[in-house]
């Protein structure tokens, strides 16, 4: 019998520890261990990796990650009620699960991790998006993580992988795709969770590129993209006016028609525009 089978079913764990789901913490738990193992498999080969898991809750995905062979898991959970249930999992996998009871937005996990690191999480959507943006915008690239396997609300997942010319295309797509390969790898209906959320969910897998897909100064690219999409219906010569003097010339130098709207402009073109405004050394 494998270790995952020696632990009680998740429903029992939730009853024993009285883990009534809290809305304020975005608690929609995954109780099907076949499903959590499937999500863990999407994270790639874990046997040589430390895995950072954010928001383990009662530990369904944690068990999946360990059962799929993660070298070590560091799990950061805000809700102290979950800690005894997680401690039982740590007991079943000696030396392989470290727990931190804290807010993932405040905790610095780096001191607890040995590279290579992969990140996996089923998080409340607001915290997930904020962490994703942080993980995609470190001071130095490549980042401390190799890949991110994250559950999002389906609509957010679609924004991460969106292509030009679609409604979902915007800042998140450009940020994610500039320095990572991003793919939706799994879609889940509300009934996969307990309690079921109102919306469908999807797992996005992002793999960090060694270098940005196209060269550009990060701050300039971010400024140009933010300005372009803040007024996405306007032509770029208007929406980017305040970004740099002579913006029409920069747009033309980047091969972008000044009458174009941000939604139509590819990542490669945005990077060319950023380089025209701020040439790289
Ligand atoms: N991973 C578990 C699963 O799949 O069943 C739980 C998922 S539930 C959607 C989100 C979890 O994130 C909850 O356990 C919640 O307490 C935790 N959480 C919410 N905000 C957090 C934060 N800022 N830092 C760490 N954990 C957080």
ipTM of predicted complex: 0.99
| CATH value at residue 270 | 1.10.8.100
Residues 141 and 202 in one domain: yes
Residues 101 and 25 in one domain: yes
Q: Is 77 part of any known ligand binding site?
A: yes
Share of the chain above pLDDT 70, in %: 98
* Binding site membership of 127 for ligand 1 (Cβ less than 6 Å): yes
Q: What is the pLDDT of residues 45-96, one digit of tens each?
A: 999 999 999 999 999 999 999 999 999 999 999 999 999 999 999 999 999 9
Q: Which of 179, 208, 237 is the last residue of a domain?
A: 208
What is the pLDDT at residue 6? 83
Q: Is residue 190 part of a domain?
A: yes
Q: Is residue 14 part of a domain?
A: yes
Residues 229 and 179 in one domain: no
Q: What is the pLDDT of residues 176-218, one digit of tens each?
A: 999 999 999 999 999 999 999 999 999 999 999 999 999 999 9
Residues 173 and 73 in one domain: yes
Name the residue of 55, 135, 191 to mutate for ligand 1: max ligand atoms within 8 A of Cβ.
55
Residues 195 and 254 in one domain: no
Distance from Cα 273 to the centre of ligand 1, integer Å: 39
Q: Is residue 5 part of a domain?
A: no
What is the pLDDT at residue 281? 84
Q: Is residue 244 part of a domain?
A: yes
Residues of the domain holding 234: 218-277
Provide the whole-model pTM. Answer: 0.95
Enumerate residues 6+ apart whose C-beta is below 8 A from 85: 13, 14, 16, 17, 19, 58, 59
Measured between alpha carbons, how far is 116 from 86 in angstroms, rounded to an integer? 23
Q: Is 53 part of any known ligand binding site?
A: no
């Amino acid at each position: 019998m494998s270790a995952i089978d020696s632990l009680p079913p998740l429903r029992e764990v939730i009853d024993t520890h009285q883990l009534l789901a809290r809305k304020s913490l975005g608690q929609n738990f995954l109780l099907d261990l076949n499903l959590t193992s499937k999500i863990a498999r999407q994270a790639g080969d874990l046997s040589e990796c430390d895995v950072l898991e954010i928001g383990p809750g009662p530990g369904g995905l944690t068990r999946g990650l360990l059962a799929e062979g993660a070298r070590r898991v560091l799990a950061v959970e805000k809700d102290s009620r979950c800690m005894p249930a997680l401690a039982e999992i740590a007991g079943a996998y000696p030396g392989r699960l470290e727990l931190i009871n804290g807010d993932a937005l405040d905790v610095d996990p780096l001191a607890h991790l040995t590279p290579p690191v992969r990140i996996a999480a089923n998080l409340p959507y607001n915290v997930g998006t904020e962490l994703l943006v942080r993980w995609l915008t470190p001071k130095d690239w490549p980042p401390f993580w190799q890949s991110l396997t994250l559950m999002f609300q389906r609509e957010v997942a679609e924004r991460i992988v969106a292509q030009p010319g679609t409604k979902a295309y915007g800042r998140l797509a450009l940020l994610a795709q500039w320095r990572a390969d991003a793919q939706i790898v799994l879609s889940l209906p509300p009934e996969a969770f307990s309690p079921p959320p109102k919306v469908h969910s999807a797992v996005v897998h992002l793999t960090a590129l060694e270098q940005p897909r196209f060269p550009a100064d990060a701050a300039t690219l971010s400024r140009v993209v933010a300005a372009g999409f803040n007024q996405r219906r306007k032509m770029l010569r208007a929406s980017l006016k305040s970004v740099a003097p002579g913006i029409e010339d920069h747009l033309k130098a980047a091969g972008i028609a000044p009458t174009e709207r941000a939604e139509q402009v590819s990542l490669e073109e945005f990077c060319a525009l950023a380089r025209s405004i701020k040439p790289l050394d």
